[in-house]
Each structure stands twice: as C-alpha cells, then as structure tokens.
C-alpha cells in the first residue's frame, strides 16, 4: 500500500520507544515494541504480530 503522507502514529511510536528505553524501570510495552520493529527495523509484520499474540496469550 502506497501513501503520500506519513501515517498517524509513526513518529509517536519512535518517541514512546525512545522514552521507554531511557526509563530505568523498563516498563513492558509489547505493542509499542512490535510496531516499532515493523516501522523502524523493517521486520516482517506477520511474524512480529504472531510473536506478539503468542506473548499476550
């Protein structure tokens, strides 16, 4: 799917991931981490969400 604009939440995902990485308590944010992996680490969305759903079960 091609978009001519940046999807809503694209930059917020990076900000949330960065803030949490600086957090000494390392709060568990599995959904943010999954979306970050897809958007910024170019991981396969199907594999990432499969891993996420397995973790949340």
Residue 11 lies in a domain: no
CA-CA distance, 48 to 37, in Å (whole number)? Answer: 8
pTM recorded for the entire structure: 0.79
pLDDT value, residue 22: 86
Residue 56 lies in a domain: yes
Half-sphere exposure of 56 (CA within 13 A, CB side): 10
Exposed, middle or buried, 51 (CB in 10 Å: 0-12/13-18/19+)? middle
Compute the residue count for the chain. Answer: 57
pLDDT value, residue 23: 83
Report the domain count for the chain.
1
Taking only the tens place, the pLDDT of each residue in 1-57 is: 676 777 789 999 999 999 988 887 878 899 999 999 999 999 999 999 999 999 887
**Which of these, 33, 36, 30, 31, lies nearest to 10 by C-alpha position?**
36
DSSP 12: H
Residue 14 lies in a domain: no
pLDDT value, residue 27: 81
């Amino acid at each position: 799917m091609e978009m001519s604009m940046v999807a809503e939440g694209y930059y917020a995902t990076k900000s949330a991931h960065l803030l949490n990485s600086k957090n000494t308590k390392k709060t568990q944010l599995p959904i943010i981490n999954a979306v970050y992996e897809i958007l910024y680490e170019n991981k396969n969305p199907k594999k990432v969400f499969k891993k996420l759903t397995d973790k949340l079960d």
